[in-house]
Amino acid sequence: MSKMFGSKVKIDKEQLERAKRISQVAGYASVEEFIAHALEKELQQFDGADSEEEIKKRLQGLGYIS
Protein backbone atom coordinates (compact mmCIF):
# COMPACT_ATOMS: atom_id res chain seq x y z
CA MET A 1 0.00 0.00 0.00
CA SER A 2 1.24 3.50 -0.78
CA LYS A 3 2.10 5.97 1.93
CA MET A 4 0.57 9.40 2.03
CA PHE A 5 3.04 12.25 2.11
CA GLY A 6 1.47 15.32 3.64
CA SER A 7 -1.98 14.57 2.22
CA LYS A 8 -5.05 15.05 4.37
CA VAL A 9 -8.68 14.62 3.52
CA LYS A 10 -11.49 15.91 5.68
CA ILE A 11 -14.36 13.52 6.22
CA ASP A 12 -17.67 14.00 7.96
CA LYS A 13 -17.55 12.72 11.55
CA GLU A 14 -20.55 10.41 11.05
CA GLN A 15 -19.04 8.94 7.88
CA LEU A 16 -15.77 8.33 9.68
CA GLU A 17 -17.52 6.52 12.51
CA ARG A 18 -19.40 4.35 10.02
CA ALA A 19 -16.15 3.60 8.19
CA LYS A 20 -14.47 2.67 11.47
CA ARG A 21 -17.23 0.21 12.35
CA ILE A 22 -17.27 -1.35 8.90
CA SER A 23 -13.48 -1.61 8.71
CA GLN A 24 -13.36 -3.44 12.04
CA VAL A 25 -16.13 -5.88 11.11
CA ALA A 26 -14.59 -6.50 7.67
CA GLY A 27 -11.19 -7.23 9.18
CA TYR A 28 -9.19 -4.33 7.79
CA ALA A 29 -6.03 -3.43 9.71
CA SER A 30 -7.20 0.18 9.98
CA VAL A 31 -9.90 2.56 8.88
CA GLU A 32 -7.32 4.14 6.56
CA GLU A 33 -6.81 0.80 4.82
CA PHE A 34 -10.58 0.38 4.37
CA ILE A 35 -11.01 3.91 2.99
CA ALA A 36 -8.06 3.46 0.60
CA HIS A 37 -9.57 0.18 -0.65
CA ALA A 38 -13.03 1.75 -1.13
CA LEU A 39 -11.49 4.71 -2.98
CA GLU A 40 -9.44 2.42 -5.22
CA LYS A 41 -12.58 0.47 -6.17
CA GLU A 42 -14.30 3.71 -7.20
CA LEU A 43 -11.27 4.99 -9.12
CA GLN A 44 -11.04 1.75 -11.11
CA GLN A 45 -14.35 2.63 -12.73
CA PHE A 46 -12.53 5.44 -14.53
CA ASP A 47 -9.50 3.46 -15.71
CA GLY A 48 -9.11 3.87 -19.44
CA ALA A 49 -11.09 7.10 -19.62
CA ASP A 50 -9.05 9.12 -22.09
CA SER A 51 -10.85 12.44 -21.90
CA GLU A 52 -12.80 14.69 -19.61
CA GLU A 53 -15.89 13.92 -21.71
CA GLU A 54 -15.46 10.16 -21.13
CA ILE A 55 -15.08 10.75 -17.38
CA LYS A 56 -18.27 12.85 -17.39
CA LYS A 57 -20.16 10.10 -19.25
CA ARG A 58 -19.02 7.53 -16.71
CA LEU A 59 -19.98 9.80 -13.81
CA GLN A 60 -23.44 10.24 -15.35
CA GLY A 61 -23.77 6.50 -15.84
CA LEU A 62 -22.92 5.95 -12.18
CA GLY A 63 -25.45 8.58 -11.10
CA TYR A 64 -22.90 10.99 -9.65
CA ILE A 65 -23.86 13.83 -11.99
CA SER A 66 -26.88 14.52 -14.18
28-50 pLDDT, tens digit per residue, is: 999 999 999 999 998 998 888 88
Rounded to two decimals, the pTM is 0.72
Residue 5 falls within a domain, yes or no? no
Residue 6 falls within a domain, yes or no? no
Number of Cβ atoms within 10 Å of the Cβ of 34: 19
Closest by CA to 44, choosing from 36, 52, 53, is 36
Residue 8 falls within a domain, yes or no? no
Average model confidence (pLDDT) across the chain? 88
Q: Give me the mean pLDDT over the 7-34 stretch.
A: 94
- Counted domains in the chain: 1
Which residues constitute the domain of residue 20?
Answer: 13-62
